[in-house]
Amino acid sequence: MSASRRRVLVVEDDSATRTLLSTGLSDDYEVADARNGREAIQSLESAEFDSVVLDLMMPVLDGFGVLHFVEKHRPELLSRVIVVTGADDYIVRLVPSGKVFDVLTKPCGLAELSDAVGRCCDDAATNPAEG
């Protein structure tokens, strides 16, 4: 694996979906995953990522808790978050508008997600985070 390979964190509580997303992205990216928001925060505290794929509705700590952590402690990463959710429009409207990179609605295709992650990583490479 190349040292310059872009890193993606997939945060998803459903194990089948998490495996599908992680496996689907692993050909092009170094992928780490988390089962809930608490695990995501542990990963974000200990490693650097070019993009974060984040589910909203999870047990233990939901995606909004992760977004709050990122906004407070790792604000340079907020624009690298891709929210992927099956939540209804009302819930999705609570996502910090214009601050996250993209919001995709489940079920989204792997090609759509891969495209969003690629654009996000390209943006991260062009505009490196400070912090």
User: What pLDDT does 86 receive?
Assistant: 84
The CATH number given to whatever domain includes residue 62 is: 3.40.50.2300
In a domain, 131, yes or no: no
In a domain, 98, yes or no: yes
Closest by CA position to 28, among listed 127, 101, 110, 130: 110
User: What pLDDT does 4 receive?
Assistant: 67
User: What pLDDT does 114 receive?
Assistant: 94
Tokens representing 36 are 């809930």
pLDDT in tens, 98-122: 789 998 988 888 999 999 999 999 8
In a domain, 1, yes or no: no
Closest by CA position to 131, among listed 68, 95, 78: 78
Average pLDDT over the chain reads: 89
Split into its structural domains, the chain has a count of 1
CB 80 within 8 A of CB 101: yes
Q: Which residues of the chain have pLDDT under 50?
A: 1-3, 131
Range of 34's domain? 7-126
CA-angle at 47, arms to 104 and 26, nearest 5°: 50
